């Protein structure tokens, strides 16, 4: 049986005599599900190299290790797809996702995904790892994507996301001049009753909060906006910016032409007609930064992806339009 690299914890003096189960849950932050799985693994939980029951007591200086079995995604076809790797260690793989590619295979779409490329990359290196993205990005959204390399890392970062401890920062180019320098959009989101695949701001929907800051304005035509998600609803930024009256440039689902529910979009549409080059082959949204506590030692880490060429080119055209 092969294992991932063990996670190690040295018992400090203040925990002398503590129950191993308590230490694993409270200090190493193992979920009940993962703890149950490790109990059934031959070398899943050891103290000083020896397998121990979780009801045992530990002493100061004891070395506690947990080992998880290697596993791989048997249902994902390996495919040689170029990857822009920002960071990799024994727990995480961070990639810069290009626009136009989906993260995970779906029904009827089994190849040409980030997952296919990652599985191929790992197998070429002789690593048996299951593909576990800790979050998703829309097909047309580019930027930082985090993939956990073991169940512990996935659990740890997922819990941070649920607790609001992950900093997700995006850059977007939107239609119109976003008036205030910054603000917060606190508007509930739910499925559109008439089009279930579309999300809309809807009273009684799920609480959704987006913080934004206007970085640069291009006359009345467009603005570059930095956004930080407090919640993580599907299509949240796209829905919220449309609700604000400034839909994303290039957004086929929520962009100009759809009903916005306010009077701002008419003016935005007229401005767009007069500005040449304010277009993009996808919605202008980029996951610029992702920051959280590293699952191995809780140290703060942050990963950034540079603005892609298509969005940088659009900004160049917008600036030139003002000259």
What is the extent of the structural domain holding 112? 85-163
Using the 3D structure, point to which of 116, 132, 163 is the last residue of a domain.
Answer: 163
Q: What's the pLDDT band for 24 if we cut at 50, 70, 90?
A: confident
What's residue 37's pLDDT?
A: 81
SS3 assignment, position 73: coil
Residue 263 has pLDDT above 50, yes or no: no
What's residue 123's pLDDT?
A: 92
Q: Give the CATH number for residue 47.
A: 3.10.290
Q: pLDDT (tens digit, 9 = 90+) per residue, 126-135? A: 888 999 999 9
| Percentage of the chain exceeding pLDDT 70 | 91
267 and 183 in a common domain: yes
- Top pLDDT among 3 and 60 is at 60
What's residue 303's pLDDT?
A: 98
Q: What's the pLDDT band for 261 if we cut at 50, 70, 90?
A: very low
Residue 273 has pLDDT above 50, yes or no: no
Integer Cα distance of 84 and 96 in angstroms: 5
173 and 281 in a common domain: yes
Q: What's the pLDDT band for 71 if we cut at 50, 70, 90?
A: confident
Is residue 56 in some structural domain? yes
Residues in the chain: 323
Is 184 in contact with 210 (CB distance < 8 Å)?
Answer: yes
Q: What's the pLDDT band for 258 if we cut at 50, 70, 90?
A: low
92 and 62 in a common domain: no
What's residue 38's pLDDT?
A: 85
Entry pTM: 0.81
What's residue 306's pLDDT?
A: 97
Q: Which residues pair with 96 in a beta bridge?
A: 144
210 and 186 in a common domain: yes
Using the 3D structure, point to which of 39, 66, 93 is the last residue of a domain.
Answer: 66
Q: Give the CATH number for residue 102.
A: 3.30.2350.10
3-state helix/strand/coil string of 86-146 = EEECCCEEEEEECCCCCCCCECCECCCCHHHHHHHHHHHCCCCCCCEECCCCCCCCEEEEE
Q: Which residues are catalytic?
A: 138
């Amino acid at each position: 049986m092969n294992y991932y690299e063990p996670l190690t914890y040295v018992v400090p003096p203040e925990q002398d005599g503590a129950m191993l189960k308590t230490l694993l849950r409270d200090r190493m932050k193992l979920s009940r599900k993962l703890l149950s799985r490790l109990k059934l693994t031959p070398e899943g939980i050891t103290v000083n190299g020896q397998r121990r029951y979780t009801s045992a007591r530990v002493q100061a200086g004891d070395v506690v290790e947990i080992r998880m079995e290697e596993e791989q995604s048997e249902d994902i076809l390996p495919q040689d797809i170029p990857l822009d790797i920002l960071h990799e260690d024994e727990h995480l793989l961070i990639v810069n996702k290009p626009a136009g590619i989906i993260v995970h295979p779906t029904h009827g779409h089994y190849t040409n995904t980030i997952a296919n490329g990652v599985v191929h990359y790992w197998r070429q290196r002789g690593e048996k790892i299951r593909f576990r993205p800790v979050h998703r990005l829309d097909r047309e959204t580019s930027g930082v994507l985090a993939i956990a390399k073991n169940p512990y890392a996935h659990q740890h970062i997922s819990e941070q996301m649920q607790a609001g401890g992950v900093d997700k920062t995006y850059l977007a180019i939107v239609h119109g001049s976003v008036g205030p320098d910054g603000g917060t959009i606190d508007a509930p989101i739910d499925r559109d009753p008439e089009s279930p695949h579309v999300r809309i701001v809807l009273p009684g929907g799920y609480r959704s909060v987006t913080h934004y800051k206007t970085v640069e304005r291009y006359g009345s035509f467009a603005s570059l906006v930095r956004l930080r998600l407090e919640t993580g609803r599907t299509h949240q930024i796209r829905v919220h910016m449309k609700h604000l009256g400034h839909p994303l440039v290039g957004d086929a689902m929520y962009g100009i032409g759809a009903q916005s529910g306010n009077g701002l979009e008419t003016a935005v549409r007229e401005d767009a007609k007069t500005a040449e080059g304010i277009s993009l082959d996808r919605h202008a949204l980029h996951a610029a930064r992702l920051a959280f506590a590293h699952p191995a030692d809780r140290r703060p880490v942050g990963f950034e992806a540079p603005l892609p060429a298509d969005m940088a080119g659009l900004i160049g055209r917008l600036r030139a339009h003002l000259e």
